[in-house]
């Protein structure tokens, strides 16, 4: 008698979220990102369907970022101009989507004006036809000024906006809802808050199919296992019918990985850690690969070589097993 | 918890009158109200006084299906009434119920297989309701063995240990809770367990609190389903909270609302 594998069958699936609107549908994007639809734990193809491939998107900033040199080098002087940076990601690194972090809006980091940033997004949309994720600067008061304006000027493009948090979600949700975009619901590695925030956002009338969960993750060596277990627990609940956790996950892998000292300490400092060049890339790639196994749908990444490794790994995972 | 709403029953005056007058709105409202309050299925019983039970049951089923998509538990002591109702149910139905007597099991297991229905089986036989735990367990094992021999999917079998009123059989309730555990180890996959909840408070002056406390205790003993009144909000809140404390749902501040949004 052959070995028979025990297969789990679940009653519910993850919602499907579409980011970006093509010309035919009233937007101006050349392609869209479709995520979600899983009917079981990731990549167990004989047990459930991974309807849509997880995607990587490149993180870009509205100002030159304060990144370590080994992360800046592949982009060169393009980092000084958001549009050049975006073009490089699309043309050279074959990006499937972009995530614009409006770091320069922060009162302590440039304090860019609402109009300035709205203009930037309009230009970006005009010149680059990739689906777009827009992140605020992290200052609630400022974000509540800039994000609604940007939602308005990008109406019809079905972008993904972030982030709604438990103490500050109403303004952003109202803006995103009115202008037909999608929203990131962010919780601090806390499944109870993740669920509660989704309830609060849906109570405002936001369809569940327009919410993406940012569970907040940690890099390899910095709480990765904890974030992994939260995501896994949310998924198990979602597949068992918990509609308030059945949203796709977005993971800010680049943000986390490049904060780790292992990704940026040079060879003189730690000679036995090996090449810094490879180490940084691997730190980001390994962090991303782990969250793919936990159910990540969108990975926001930074280093093009790390993205290349992860894309290859995704293709491998999508093969029948 | 799988709650089967108990309010569409000819024992109740409003239902009895609605059947007599063929007043669809009363039945449709009862169906909708129970669904909106969190019922997972609806019990349908035309009552012991019905002179034409087949017709009355069919009318109830058709009327309910106009208002609700929930599965129906077809509740009758007469096989022909149940069979004819199963002919017209749109969703997977539940047969309520068979006893442990072989001749009844023969009829109802075959019927459940034919109509792809779930089956509620009472652990009682011609001799009546057993007075102790072991006798209940023995009947339960007999029911499971019979169903297995017929290749009936045990996931679709609900065993009912028969809850008696607290003012009639007080010493038995503790044993009933214990036997819920034991039913679960009869087979793999395990049969599901169900109680007719309102029976526990029959004839008492404090029905709601007795029902509520017994249901949370039964939930802690692994109960899967109950035939109960979903419009009793305190009861539903208690069972949602019990399941939360048993780690069946993930906590959030609005957990009562969240559960009802499912």
Please give the structure tokens belonging to residue B37.
Answer: 């309050």
Q: How many CA atoms lie within 13 A of B114 on its CB side?
A: 12
Q: Give me the total of CB pairs closer than 8 Å, taking one residue from chain A and one from chain B.
A: 35
Which residue in chain B is spatially nearest to A196 when comparing CA positions? Answer: B252
Query: How far from chain centre, in Å, is Cα A228?
Result: 16
Nearest partner of A308 among A8, A140, A72, A56, judged by Cα: A56
Contact by Cβ (8 Å): B117, B111: yes
The yes-or-no verdict on residue A27 having pLDDT over 90 is yes
Answer yes or no: are the C-beta atoms of A238 and A226 closer than 8 Å. Answer: no
Cβ-Cβ contacts under 8 Å, B258 against chain A:
195, 199, 242, 244
Say if the Cβ atoms of A244 and B258 lie within 8 Å: yes
Across A19-23, A47-51, B39-43, least confident range: A47-51
Most A-contacting residue of B240, B248, B250 (CB-CB within 10 A), to test interface? B250
Contact A195 B262 (CB under 8 A): no
Closest Cα of chain B to A234: distance in Å?
8
Cross-chain CB nearest to A192 (options B251, B257, B261): B251
| Mutation target vs A (from B252, B256, B261; most A CBs, 10 A cutoff) | B252
Q: Is A245 on the interface with B (CB under 8 A)?
A: yes
CB within 8 A of A297, min separation 6: which ones?
A: A14, A35, A36, A52, A54, A55, A212, A248, A249, A250
Collect all residues with Cβ–Cβ distance below 8 Å to B184 and sequence separation of at least 6.
B190, B191, B193, B222
pLDDT band at A4 (very low <50, low <70, confident <90, very high): confident
Give the pLDDT mean for B239-259: 94
pLDDT of the residue at A5? 82
Which chain B residues touch A245 with a CB distance below 8 Å? Answer: 250
Q: What angle in degrees, to the nearest 10, is found between the helix axes of B53-67 and B13-21? A: 100
Query: Is it the case that residue A202 has pLDDT exceeding 90?
Result: yes
Residue of A nearest to B261 (CA): A243
**pLDDT tens digits for range A250-266:** 999 999 999 999 999 99
Q: Looking at the partner chain, which of A191, A200, A202 has a beta carbon nearest the beta carbon of B250?
A: A191
Is residue A1 pLDDT above 80, yes or no? no
CATH number at residue B149: 3.20.20.20
User: Which positions in chain A touch B1 (Cβ < 8 Å)?
Assistant: none
Structure tokens at A19: 């980011």
pLDDT at B262: 64
Question: Exposure string (b/e) for A173-190, b if CB count within 10 Å is 16 or more?
Answer: bebbbebbbbbbbbbebe
A chain contacts of residue B252, beta-carbon cutoff 8 Å: 192-193, 195-196, 199, 244
The verdict on A11 touching B (C-beta cutoff 8 Å) is no
3-class DSSP assignment, residue A304: helix
Q: Over the stretch B127-170, which tens digit does the pLDDT of each residue have? A: 999 988 999 999 999 999 999 999 999 999 999 999 999 999 99
Give the pair of three-digit tokens for residue B129: 């309701």
* Tokens read off for A123: 């230009």
**Which residues of B fall below an 8 Å CB-CB distance to A?**
249-254, 257-258, 261-262
Give the pairing of strands A132-135 and A98-101: parallel
Task: Give how far B250 is from chain A: nearest CA, Å.
Answer: 7
- Closest Cβ opposite residue A242 in set B249, B253, B254: B249
What is the three-state SS of chain B?
CEEEECCCECCCHHHHHHHHHCCHHHHHHHHHHHHHCCCCEEEEECCCCCCCHHHHHHHHHHHHHHHCCCCEEEECCCHHHHHHHHHHCCCCCEEEEECCCHHHHHHHHHHHHHCCCEEEEECCECCECCCCHHHHHHHHHHHHHHHHHCCCCHHHEEEECCCCCCCCCCCHHHHHHHHHHHHHCCCCCCCEEEEEHHHHHCCCCCHHHHHHHHHHHHHHCCCCEEEECCCCHHHHHHHHHHHHHCCCCCCCCCHHHHHHCC
Quote the CA–CA distance of A24 and A32 in Å, as a whole number: 12
- Residues 6 or more apart from A209 whose CB is under 8 A from it? A15, A16, A17
Instruction: List the beta strands (DSSP E) in chain A.
Output: 17-19, 33-35, 55-61, 98-101, 132-135, 160-164, 182-186, 211-214, 249-251, 296-301
Q: What ipTM does the predicted assembly reach?
A: 0.83
Q: Does A204 touch chain B (CB under 8 A)?
A: no
The per-residue pLDDT of chain A, averaged, comes to: 96
- Cβ–Cβ under 8 Å, residues A38 and A50: yes
Domains, in order of start, for chain A? 30-318 (3.20.20.20)
**Stretch A296-309: mean pLDDT:** 98
- By Cβ distance, the residue of B254, B261, B262 closest to A196 is B254
Which among B251, B252, B261 has the least Cβ separation from residue A243?
Answer: B261
- The pLDDT, as a whole number, for residue A129 is 97
| Domain containing residue B113 | 2-260
CB neighbourhood size of A69 (10 A): 10
H/E stretch holding A312 reads helix A304-318
Residues 6+ apart with CB under 8 A from A318: A43, A50, A53
Number of domains in chain B: 1
Calculate how close chain B gets to A164, using CA atoms only, in Å: 17
> Omega into A163 within 30° of 0, i.e. cis?
yes
- Any chain B CB within 8 A of the CB of A196? yes
Strand partners, B98: B121
């Amino acid at each position: 008698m052959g070995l028979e594998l025990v297969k789990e069958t679940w009653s519910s699936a993850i919602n499907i979220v579409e980011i970006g609107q093509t010309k035919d549908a009233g937007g101006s994007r050349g392609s869209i990102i479709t995520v979600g639809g899983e009917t079981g734990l990731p990549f167990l193809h004989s047990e459930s369907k991974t309807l849509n491939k997880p995607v990587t998107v490149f993180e870009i900033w509205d100002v030159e970022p304060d990144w370590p040199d080994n992360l800046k080098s592949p982009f060169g002087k393009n980092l000084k101009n958001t549009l050049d940076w975006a073009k490089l990601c699309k043309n050279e690194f074959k990006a499937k989507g972009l995530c614009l972090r409006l770091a320069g809006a922060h009162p302590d980091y440039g304090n860019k004006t609402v109009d300035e940033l709205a203009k930037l997004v309009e230009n970006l949309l005009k010149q680059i036809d990739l689906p777009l994720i827009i992140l605020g600067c992290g200052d609630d008061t400022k974000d509540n000024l800039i994000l609604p304006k940007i939602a308005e000027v990008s109406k019809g493009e079905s972008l993904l906006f972030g982030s709604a948090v438990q103490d500050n979600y109403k303004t952003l949700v109202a803006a995103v809802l009115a202008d037909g975009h999608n929203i990131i619901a962010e919780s601090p590695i806390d499944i109870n808050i993740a669920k509660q925030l989704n309830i609060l956002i849906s109570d405002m009338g936001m369809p569940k199919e327009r919410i993406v969960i940012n569970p907040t993750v940690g890099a390899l060596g910095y709480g990765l296992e904890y974030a992994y277990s939260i995501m896994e627990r949310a998924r198990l609940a979602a597949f068992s019918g918990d509609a308030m956790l059945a949203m796709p996950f977005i993971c800010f892998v680049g943000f986390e990985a490049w904060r780790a000292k292992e990704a940026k300490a040079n060879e003189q400092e730690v000679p036995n850690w090996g090449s810094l060049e490879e180490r940084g890339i691997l730190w980001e790639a390994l962090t991303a690969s782990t969250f793919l196994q936990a159910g990540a749908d969108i990975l926001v990444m930074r280093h093009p070589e790390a993205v290349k490794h992860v894309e290859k790994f995704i293709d491998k995972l999508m093969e029948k097993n | 918890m799988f709650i089967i709403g108990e309010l569409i029953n000819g024992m109740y005056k409003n239902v009895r009158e609605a059947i007599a007058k063929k007043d669809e709105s009363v039945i449709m409202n009862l169906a909708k109200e129970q669904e909106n309050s969190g019922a997972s299925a609806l019990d349908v019983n035309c009552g012991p006084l019905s002179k034409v039970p087949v017709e009355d049951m069919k009318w109830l089923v058709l009327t309910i299906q106009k208002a609700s998509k929930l599965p129906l538990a077809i509740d009758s002591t007469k096989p022909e009434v149940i069979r004819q109702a199963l002919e017209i149910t749109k969703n997977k139905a539940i047969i309520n119920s068979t006893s442990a007597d072989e001749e009844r099991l023969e009829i109802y297991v075959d019927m459940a297989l034919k109509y792809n229905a779930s089956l509620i089986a009472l652990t009682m036989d011609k001799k009546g309701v057993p007075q102790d735990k072991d006798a209940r367990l023995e009947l339960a094992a007999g029911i499971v063995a019979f169903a297995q021999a017929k290749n009936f999917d045990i996931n679709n079998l609900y065993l009912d240990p028969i809850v008696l009123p607290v003012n009639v059989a007080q010493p038995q309730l503790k044993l009933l809770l214990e036997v819920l555990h034991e039913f679960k180890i009869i087979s793999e996959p395990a049969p599901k367990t169900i109680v007719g909840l309102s029976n526990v408070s029959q004839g008492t002056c404090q029905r709601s609190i007795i029902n509520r406390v017994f249901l949370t205790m039964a939930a802690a003993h692994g109960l899967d389903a109950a035939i109960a009144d979903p419009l009793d909000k305190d009861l539903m809140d208690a069972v949602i909270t019990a399941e939360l404390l048993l780690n069946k749902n993930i906590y959030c501040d609005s957990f009562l609302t969240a559960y009802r949004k499912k």
